[in-house]
Structure 1
């Protein structure tokens, strides 16, 4: 039997959260559970016995709240579960606290634990899901790739808060963390499909990264990055950086010989420094071309539904049991008052199947060049088929 079920709570205490979830789960037991919610609600999970309803867990905090097929829950006390019952499948989750700056070791330890707990330590999973604090994503993906190779799709989203103040949390079914890598491996008995894309288009403004260090963009075309970016925008940004840059990120081309049109991975400017450098939420590589990207509210509102339709089209007979969707937290903050439109689009695209949407500060997914990548302002969708669909 394969089944997906969601549950949610808008309660403020652990006892009330558990009561809400128990009523909706109706005594069922599941192989895997994903839990996402506002950081104030995730912090309550130490006193919520989620391990009694699922064997494996992965979760963390989501900007403002969450969304499921049951509604839009963008308030402080909001939390949602995405539960998988798969009698013929295997799932495992593992976690490790990042000690100092040793992200690589934490990732390897978490992945090894997840593979062992799935009972498939020597079998490559069909899909990996990761959850980590912002700033660690590229290192996490690199380590997963070194262990499993480049062909296993890795999806996920970085834990978030409401204002980039560092209140994000991760959860592994046993403990709550602020600086941990949590990884889940999926060996489902049904078909899955996935898609990773953005809702942005390139402008005519382009330049070469002539000096950079990780996520610090120092020069474009041998000029201070702030000067070039401001010139491209035709205005200066002095405060509220993310609010003013969300519709105008920087994009680097995904190189792929079979693509007819260029596709871009996005980096969001988050801070401008007096020395002319720009701090980003994703790394940029020296020598690469950057392009000023742009979007509009209507595109951000419609893109998630479109992504779900594309992802669903790959499933046998387009039949879907449910899906996990990652939606950029910065995009959410730009359109939060119109999220009912997004909800209705996704619900229609998935035919009413259960889904969970988390709002993250960094998105991970399997790009069109068959490479796992980290980006900003992206959409990641993973859908599960149905047990009796013909493959």
Structure 2
């Protein structure tokens, strides 16, 4: 496996990060600021750099290359697989004929399961129900293939996100990259580092990913009471206080970020499902807990590997980035400390992370985690 990385700020030229080498038919991951990806020339720019590449675009809340978290920029990571075959398909959640579950199901059902080793997803992040999407994906692949990836982002604006395959980035798109061949080794892990606090509340009214009532009270009013002065900065301020959701006794709880609010309905719109009768608590964290969680995720991803990873795909949540603030590179540095300097680091800050729980195989939507996928060829 060979890799090349470049980055570019607005009005600047492309700059290589590390050695410039020529790749043959690479997978080209283009992560960056939404406004820069809206430039009508972006596709042709990247195509000129990689004439025979398969180009996958995704907007972010910060893109990762090496030990840097880049703001207001576009980062390219191009990967040439030497023994692994690649198949890429797309779907769009704006298709009115399908719900999010069937969009995910129908998209991944197009892939042949024979020798399929890994599926990487770059998905619309501003208005889809990520829980339904990942349920459909898991069903389509019969829970037999590792699926990881993330929902695209738009900094803290929450206006729209963009993604695409071999065309200019657009809204609603989901890109699925399937990697085939027994020579590919793919391992992963996720970890959060957030702590529940305050009283547990019961979800008394919800629909899909919209939360209307907790303990019979309007959810948005109650949440604003907890936030106090910070409520005036919603929905961005909600990223600092996600919800810990336990759907059933004995099941692992899952963290849910608040993506938007509905003042008229007095409701909260979450990144994924929040079922009625689920128990909910607020969560908080600090810089040290987040950095330690990233280190732990890296160590778990390395467990049992046969080879040194050539590539690490890091998908971290925008809420973690807001907590880290000026120290945002620390969680990436913790990962590099574990993996070593020989591994190419790529990724982005997202509106949601896609992966199973550590030690499980069923793909789920997560929030506020560091999700690490390690790839290499034997």
CA 1:54–1:23: 2 relative to 1, 3 Å = farther
Task: Measure, in 1, the Cα distance between the counterparts of 2:20 and 2:367.
Answer: 34
Q: Does 1:162 align with 2:174?
A: no
Q: Could you state the TM-score of these two structures normalised by the residue count of structure 2?
A: 0.85
Task: Measure, in 1, the Cα distance between the counterparts of 2:198 and 2:17.
Answer: 54
CA 1:281–1:95: 2 relative to 1, 3 Å = same
Q: Does 1:45 align with 2:42?
A: yes
Post-superposition CA distance 1:45-95 (Å, at most 9, x none) = 3212538455434331111x3121153322x2x222233322221111112
Task: Measure, in 2, the Cα distance between the counterparts of 1:274 and 1:236.
Answer: 20
Which of 56, 74, 81 lines up with 2:76 in the alignment? 81
Q: Could you state the TM-score of these two structures normalised by the residue count of structure 1?
A: 0.83
> Which residue does the alignment assign to 1:28?
23
Secondary structure in 2 matching 1:146: helix
Unpaired runs of at least 5, structure 1: 116-120
Task: Measure, in 1, the Cα distance between the counterparts of 2:42 and 2:151.
Answer: 18
Q: Aligned ranges for residues 1-391 of structure 1 at < 5 Å?
A: 3-12=1-10, 16-17=13-14, 20=15, 24-43=19-38, 44-50=41-47, 52=50, 55-63=53-61, 65-69=62-66, 71-74=68-71, 76=72, 78-101=73-96, 102=98, 103=100, 106-107=103-104, 110-111=107-108, 115=111, 121-123=112-114, 125-134=116-125, 135-136=127-128, 137-188=130-181, 189-230=183-224, 233=226, 235=228, 237-253=230-246, 263-268=253-258, 270-271=260-261, 273=263, 275-316=265-306, 319-352=308-341, 353-368=343-358, 369-385=360-376, 387=378
Post-superposition CA distance 1:178-234 (Å, at most 9, x none) = 221211112252321111232212225212211101222111122222344456x37
CA 1:287–1:36: 2 relative to 1, 3 Å = same
Unpaired runs of at least 5, structure 2: none
Runs of 4+ in 1 over 6 A off after TM superposition: 254-257
CA 1:271–1:316: 2 relative to 1, 3 Å = same
Aligned length: 368
Task: Measure, in 2, the Cα distance between the counterparts of 1:356 and 1:94.
Answer: 21
Task: Measure, in 1, the Cα distance between the counterparts of 2:90 and 2:259.
Answer: 30
Task: Measure, in 1, the Cα distance between the counterparts of 2:85 and 2:7.
Answer: 27
Secondary structure in 2 matching 1:177: coil
Alignment check: 8 A CA contact 2:314 2:370 kept: yes
Q: How far is the alpha carbon of 1:263 from its aligned partner? A: 4.4
Alignment check: 8 A CA contact 2:67 2:336 kept: no
> Which residue does the alignment assign to 1:118?
none
Greater Cα shift, 87-96 or 295-304: 295-304
Task: Measure, in 2, the Cα distance between the counterparts of 1:228 and 1:12.
Answer: 41
Q: How far is the alpha carbon of 1:32 from its aligned partner? A: 2.2
